[in-house]
Each structure stands twice: as C-alpha cells, then as structure tokens.
C-alpha cells in the first residue's frame, strides 16, 4: 500500500468511527451535575489552580490556608529564628513546593545550567542496576546545596530538533532534550539512566486519590483482550504500611497517596526529614563528607505533612469554559472518535475512602485512567521506576490543561516539558497511542484546530 492510500484508508476509518460516535450521540459536552459544584470552580485567570473546593467545611478551609502557607513559603537553612521552617538541604532542588508548582501549576525545564529551582527534577540510577538508586548520587540529582556543601551536579538540557510533516503536507517541528549532568561533585556518575520530569499542576488530586484501587484495576487490560491496541495497567506499589496499592501520583504513578508524594517531595526535593523519612537524602558516601546543621529531629512533624496533603487534596478543579462553542464540540467528538478517551477517561466514580466527605461517591471527568501505558521509544527515558518500564507513563489528567498557559506563561507539556504546544504533545504520542496520534495527524487542519480548541476548554 502506498503512503497516500494508507492515509486515506485511515481517514475513512476515522470518518466512520466519528459517525458512529455522532450517531450514538452519547458524547458528554460538559459535566453539569450539581454535585460538581462541590469541587469545581469557575475560574479562568492566573489563580485558576489555586482555589479551594467550594464544599469544604469551615475547619477544612482553615486547614487549607495553613497548608497553603507551608506550600508557598520558602524553607531556610538551619538553625534559623523561623523555627519550624528551617532544615533546608543539605542537598535540595528548590526552596519551596511552589517553586516547582508555581501558582499550583506546572514547573518548567531549566533554561541553562545555572537556572535552578524552577521545577525540573532529574531522577537517576546506574545503567546496570535496573532502576535502583545510584550508589553515590541516590535516586535524584540535587542541583542545589546549602553554603559549604557541594551541589551534586548542574543540569544542562541540549535541545534536539526534529522535523516532520502532516499527511496534508503542513510541516511541523518538535523539540526533545538531551540531558547533561555537568561538574558532578561526588565522583564520576558512570553509565547512568536519567529521567527528567517537571512538577505538574496539582488540581483535583483529592478526587484522583478518592478513586478506589478496584476502580482503577477494572480499567486495566494488560493483554489487550478487547483488541483496541491499548493495554494499560496499574502501577502496583507499596504504601508506607507495606500494602500493595494502585499507584497514581507522579508521571509514572509511583506514589500511592498524596501523603506519600508529600513525604517524598520534602525528602528528595527540599531536604526536609519527616517521621516517615527521618534521615537526610544522602548516600553513605555523601554522608561521610557532608556536615550540615539539622532543623529538628525530624524537621517536620506529622501535622505539617497532613496540612500539606490536605492542601493538595482540596485544590479545586477549574470548570470547563466554552464547552458549547461549535468548534469545541466538534473537537470533543474527534477526541472520542480518535480514541484519545481510551486513556484520557471521563465518567469515573470515586469511592468512600476520602477524608473529605464531598469527594466520596461522585462522578468525575479527569481525562485519565491513572494507568501506565507503553508510549513508545520517543518518549521513553529507558529507566525502570518501580514496576514501570522506561517506556511506560501514567496517563496525565487533562482537566485544567487549557488554563496551563494562563497560569504558567512558560507552560510546557509532557513529562520533561519538551512540548511547547498541545499539538506537539499529541504528535509525540507513540506505542499504544500511536494509532490515535496518526489519526490526529491525518485530520484536516480545521479538525486539528477543533481538537486543540477542545483541549483548551478543559
């Protein structure tokens, strides 16, 4: 089959799939159930990700404000008069949560090797170790350190340009990163596997947490039994009590709960010890040479962790905008017809486990299944992370994605912030999503614009 006839065969398939979707008429245009008002907000400005869920009780709102200040304020080197906010480092990546999640939005890749603390973390392991922490540098590269201590390395991203063409002849350009670790301070890194990732926007976390494991396991299709080319599986991880849970947070769903994510962020990104991680993030070799004042034993208590987790749990989801615009509605039909919604799922129902009553037993449209998918070699980092292979990534939620550029002017898409636009993000899809990606590329320019208009309405 020539390339041209392959493409036209493909668009015929898409057209008929689209007709089926239209005929059935079951494409939900906007989530308008009254219960949604409990956890969504009408907001389209730079603070759109920063609002508490409307349904919070007065006490939950107060806890939100306390968590908000822990999230926003910078940690300082111990000892400091700001007791309770000291203990930063000795090694760290940024001085506050909000440095990497600015305005509760998305961090960005560094502009050069001196641009630190803006949201990217490079995870590391020795090539031969199958994902274990690096023997000297641990699980992640900290590119900052307190005075008198050497930062581990400087992170430098070298852009790699890639050009392509839509089947209709329109050219496009993509950009990926080659990661370099300059001036390693604790000895040679050797042959390593690196996984650069940016901090995500953190809206709606409490709803994702409120999905029961069983609800996620029901979405799995590890052997693609239904033959749609998509075979997501849950990332089975251990929670702090040793129970196996369906992981859901982070780009590889490595963390089973918001609390576990908060503990890991404090420990790895800020250098703050906690009851669950009482020792600083230093390898044995580093611990021999690094002397640093402690900000307490441990540096945060369970209450602060709980407040931070509560804050992340109760940030509201911005409501959709312009959902009844005809172009947006057309884009929404294409999203379904192309099979984007096989992974970016809607209509999930939460269980009873959330500590926030308003988040129990509600239907949500997060545009994710929280499962791992093989996304092909172009997006692969080649590094095992728990049970996730180098090619597997968690479907990221798309709710709020249309506001990312309003909240974070430098917003970038995908796990390492390589994509400058939503269109680029789609074009990088491969592996299980290759069929959907190729179908997107084969659309007319108007249809592609409609699909992007739909994404911008989320």
Q: Is 224 in the site for Ca ion (CB under 5 A)?
A: yes
228 binds, among ligand HEC, Ca ion, none (CB under 5 to 8 A by kind): Ca ion
Binding mask 244-283 for Ca ion (x = CB under 5 A): ---------------------------x------------
Shortest distance (Å) from residue 316 CB to ligand HEC = 14
Question: Least distance from C-beta 196 to ligand HEC, angstroms?
Answer: 9
Residue 300 contact among Ca ion, ligand HEC, none, beta carbon within 5 to 8 Å by kind: none
Print the binding letters for residues 135-154 with Ca ion: x by CB under 5 A, - otherwise.
--xx---x------------
For residue 119, the partner it binds in ligand HEC, Ca ion, none, with Cβ less than 5 to 8 A by kind, is ligand HEC
- Picked from ligand HEC, Ca ion, none, the partner binding residue 413 (CB below 5 to 8 A depending on kind) is ligand HEC
> In this complex, which beta carbon is closest to ligand HEC, that of residue 186 or of residue 251?
251
Q: What does each C-alpha distance from 193 to 52, 127, 129, 331 come to in angstroms? A: 39, 5, 9, 38
The answer to whether residue 301 forms part of the interface with Ca ion (CB under 5 A) is: no
Judged by beta carbon, residue 228 or residue 324, the one nearer Ca ion is: 228
Binding partner of 221, given ligand HEC, Ca ion, none, CB within 5-8 angstroms per partner class:
Ca ion
Of 7 and 37, CB closest to ligand HEC: 7
Q: How far is the CB of 231 from ligand HEC (least distance, A)?
A: 8
- Choosing among ligand HEC, Ca ion, none, which partner's interface includes residue 270 (Cβ < 5 to 8 Å by kind)? ligand HEC
Q: How far is the CB of 270 from Ca ion (least distance, A)?
A: 8
Nearer to ligand HEC among residue 225 and residue 284 (C-beta):
225
Residues in 64-103 that interact with Ca ion by CB under 5 A: 87
- Regarding beta strands 40-41 and 317-318, do their DSSP bridges make them parallel or antiparallel, or are they unpaired? parallel
- Residue number with CB closer to ligand HEC (63 or 436): 436
Q: What does the H/E/C string look like for the chain?
A: CCHHHHHHHHHHHHHHHHHHHHHHCCCCCCCCCHHHHHCEECCCCCCCCCCECCCCCHHHHHHHHHHHHHHHCCCECCCCCCCCCECCCCEECCCCHHHHCHHHCCCCCCCCCCCCCCCEEEEEEEHHHCCCCECCCECEECCEECCCCCCCCEEEEEEEEEEEECCCCCEEEEEEEEEEEECCCCCCCCCEEEEEEECCCCCCHHHHHCCCHHHHHCCCCCCCCCCCCCCCECEEEECCCCCEEEECECCCCCECCHHHHHHHHHHHHHCCCCCCCCCCCCCHHHHHHCCCCCCCCCCCCHHHHHHHHHHHHHECEECCCCCCCHHHHHHHHHHHHCCHHHCCCCCEECCCCCCCHHHCCCEECCCCCCCEEECCCCCCCCCCECCECCCEEECCCCCCHHHHHHHCCCCCECCCCCECCHHHHHHHCCHHHHHHHHHHHCCCHHHHHHHHHHHHCC
Closest distance between Ca ion and the C-beta of residue 228, in Å? Answer: 4
Instruction: Assess contact for 186 and 142: CB atoms under 8 A.
Output: no
Asked if residue 230 binds Ca ion (CB under 5 A), the reply is: yes
Place of tokens 């709020």: 400
User: Binding residues for ligand HEC, per CB under 6 A?
Assistant: 71, 93-94, 97, 99-101, 107, 119, 121, 197-200, 202, 205, 230, 249-252, 254, 258, 261-262, 265-266, 269-270, 308, 312, 335, 338-340, 342-344, 373, 375, 379, 393, 395-396, 401, 413-415, 422, 425-426, 429, 432-433, 436-437, 440, 451, 455
> How many whole angstroms separate alpha carbon 21 and alpha carbon 334?
9
* Beta carbon nearer to ligand HEC, 34 or 254: 254
Residue pair 385/129 in contact (Cβ under 8 Å)? The answer is no
Pull the structure tokens for residue 125: 């392991």
Closest CB to Ca ion among residues 156, 412:
156
Q: Which does 202 bind (CB under 5 to 8 A by kind): Ca ion, ligand HEC, none?
A: ligand HEC
Exposure b/e, 304-333, CB count within 10 A at least 16 = b = bbbbbbbbbbbbbbbbbbebeeebbbbbbb
- Shortest separation between residue 213's beta carbon and Ca ion, angstroms: 20
> Tokens for 259?
């609390």
Q: How far is the CB of 307 from Ca ion (least distance, A)?
A: 19
Q: Which stretch binds Ca ion (CB under 5 A): 4-12, 215-223, 246-254, 330-338?
A: 215-223
Query: Smallest distance from the beta carbon of 309 to ligand HEC, in angstroms?
Result: 8
| Using rule CB under 5 A, residue 221 touches Ca ion | yes
Considering beta carbons, is residue 186 or 335 the nearer one to ligand HEC? 335
Residues lying near Ca ion in the complex (CB under 5 A): 87, 137-138, 142, 221, 224, 226, 228, 230, 271
């Amino acid at each position: 089959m020539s390339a041209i006839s392959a493409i036209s065969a493909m668009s015929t398939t898409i057209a008929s799939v689209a007709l089926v979707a239209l005929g059935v008429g079951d494409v939900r245009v906007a989530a308008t159930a009254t219960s949604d008002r409990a956890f969504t907000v009408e907001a389209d400005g730079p603070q759109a990700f920063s609002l508490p869920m409307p349904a919070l009780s007065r006490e939950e709102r107060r806890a939100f404000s306390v968590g908000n200040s822990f999230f926003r304020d910078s940690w300082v080197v111990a000892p400091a008069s700001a007791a309770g906010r000291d203990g930063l480092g000795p090694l760290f990546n940024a001085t506050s949560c909000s440095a990497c999640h600015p305005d509760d939005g998305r961090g960005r890749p560094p502009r050069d090797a001196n641009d630190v603390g803006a949201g990217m973390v490079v995870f590391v392991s020795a090539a031969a170790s199958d994902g274990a922490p690096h023997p000297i540098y641990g699980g992640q590269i900290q590119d900052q350190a307190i005075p008198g201590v050497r930062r581990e390395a400087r992170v430098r991203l070298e852009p790699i340009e890639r050009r392509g063409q839509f089947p209709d002849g329109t050219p496009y350009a993509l950009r990926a990163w080659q990661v370099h670790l300059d001036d390693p301070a604790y000895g040679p890194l050797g042959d390593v596997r690196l996984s650069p990732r940016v901090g995500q926007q953190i809206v709606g976390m409490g709803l994702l947490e409120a999905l029961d494991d069983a609800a996620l396991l029901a979405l799995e299709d590890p052997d693609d039994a239904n033959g749609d080319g998509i075979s997501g599986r849950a990332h089975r991880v251990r929670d702090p009590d040793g129970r196996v849970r369906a992981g859901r947070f982070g780009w590889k769903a490595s963390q089973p709960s918001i609390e576990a994510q908060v503990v890991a962020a404090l420990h790895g990104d800020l250098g703050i010890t906690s009851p669950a991680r009482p020792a600083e993030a230093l390898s044995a070799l580093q611990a021999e040479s690094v002397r640093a004042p402690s900000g307490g034993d441990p540096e945060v208590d369970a209450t602060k962790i709980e407040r931070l987790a509560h804050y992340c749990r109760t940030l509201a989801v911005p409501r959709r905008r312009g959902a009844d615009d005809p172009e947006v509605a057309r884009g929404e039909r294409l999203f379904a017809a192309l099979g984007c919604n096989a992974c970016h799922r809607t209509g999930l129902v939460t269980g009873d486990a959330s500590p926030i009553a308003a988040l129990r037993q509600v239907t949500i449209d997060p545009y994710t299944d929280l499962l791992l998918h093989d996304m092909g070699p172009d997006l692969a980092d080649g590094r095992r992370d728990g049970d996730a292979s180098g090619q597997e990534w968690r479907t990221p939620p798309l709710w709020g994605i249309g506001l990312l550029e309003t909240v974070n002017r430098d917003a970038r898409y995908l796990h390492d912030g390589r994509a400058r636009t939503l269109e680029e993000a789609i074009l990088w899809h491969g592996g299980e999503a290759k069929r959907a990606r190729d179908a997107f590329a084969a659309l007319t320019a108007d249809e592609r614009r409609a699909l992007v208009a739909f994404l911008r309405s989320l």
